Amino acid sequence: MSSYIPTKRTKVRRLNKRAVYDKARVHEILDEGFLCHVGFIGEGQPYVIPTVYARCGELLYIHGSGASRTLKTLAQGVDLCATVTLVDGYVLARSAFHHSMNYRSVVVLGRARLVSEPEEKLEALRLITDHMVPQRWDEVREPNELELKQTVVLALPLEEVSAKVRVGPPVDDEEDYALPVWAGVVPMRTQLGEPVADSRVLPTAGTLQLSRFGSSKTPVAT
């Protein structure tokens, strides 16, 4: 199927015209982002933890320290919610009430499984590394046996998924269009700065070119 089937938990009810269930569009948002927030209940206490991730088909891989309370809890198969949000611009209206933002967001509900098979675990770590910096995995030393033991990788299936997208100018009450107030969109972009090498980089290591990142981390908001 080309779309996710909305469930009682993922069906967008408020402003449902902004709802997106198309898999290609959802994947596009996930692939452009690089930080997700994972929410869950642990010992009766709600937590929302930011972490890097990577998508592989219909799986979302996340990782962290084996000593992390978050990863230990999630590895038990508890219910979780993972969200990714890209902000594209401030939407300034003529009234305070109608101020908003242009954004693209994805919500994933489900339970993650512990990735224990060595080949899948290593591949997941490669995907996460290369999602941050393309082709980085081929340049660096791979994790050794001890590092792999100290790292937990979880796989979250993309089954209960929905996205929500807002684009375009503000929508004011008709009578407010007569107000002498500037209104419109202030675009927002994520832009990388010039790489700064640490003091112990060998001269033979060369430099990191921003062109390596392509356009995925410098979206122009509309």
The pLDDT, as a whole number, for residue 75 is 87
In a domain, 28, yes or no: yes
Q: Is the pTM of this model over 0.75?
A: yes
The pLDDT, as a whole number, for residue 131 is 95
- Cα 29 vs. chain centroid, distance in angstroms? 7
Domain that holds residue 157: 16-213
In a domain, 58, yes or no: yes
- Residue 151's nearest CA partner among 189, 114, 193 is 114
C-alpha span between 191 and 220 (Å, rounded): 9
- Segment holding 54, helix H or strand E: strand 45-56
Locate 49 and state its tokens: 């933890």
The pLDDT, as a whole number, for residue 218 is 44
In a domain, 220, yes or no: no
How many domains, in total, are found in the chain?
Answer: 1
β-pairing, 151-157 vs 79-92, is unpaired
In a domain, 209, yes or no: yes
In a domain, 153, yes or no: yes
In a domain, 199, yes or no: yes
Four-point Cα dihedral 72, 133, 56, 151, nearest 10: -20
The pLDDT, as a whole number, for residue 215 is 56
Determine contact, residues 185/90, Cβ cutoff 8 Å. Answer: yes
CATH number, position 43:
2.30.110.10
3-class secondary structure, 31 = helix
Determine contact, residues 185/91, Cβ cutoff 8 Å. Answer: yes
Q: Which residues of the chain have pLDDT under 70?
A: 15, 214-222
Sign of the alpha-carbon dihedral angle for 47, 84, 169, 13 = negative
- Segment holding 119, helix H or strand E: helix 118-132
Expressed in angstroms, the distance from the first to the final Cα of the chain is 29
The pLDDT, as a whole number, for residue 221 is 37
Buried b (16+ CB within 10 A) or exposed e, 119-152: eebbbbbbbbbebeeeeebeeeeebeeeeeeebb
Locate 176 and state its tokens: 């407010």
C-alpha span between 126 and 120 (Å, rounded): 10
The pLDDT, as a whole number, for residue 43 is 85
In a domain, 101, yes or no: yes
The pLDDT, as a whole number, for residue 188 is 94
Determine contact, residues 49/37, Cβ cutoff 8 Å. Answer: yes
In a domain, 192, yes or no: yes
Residue type, 207: T
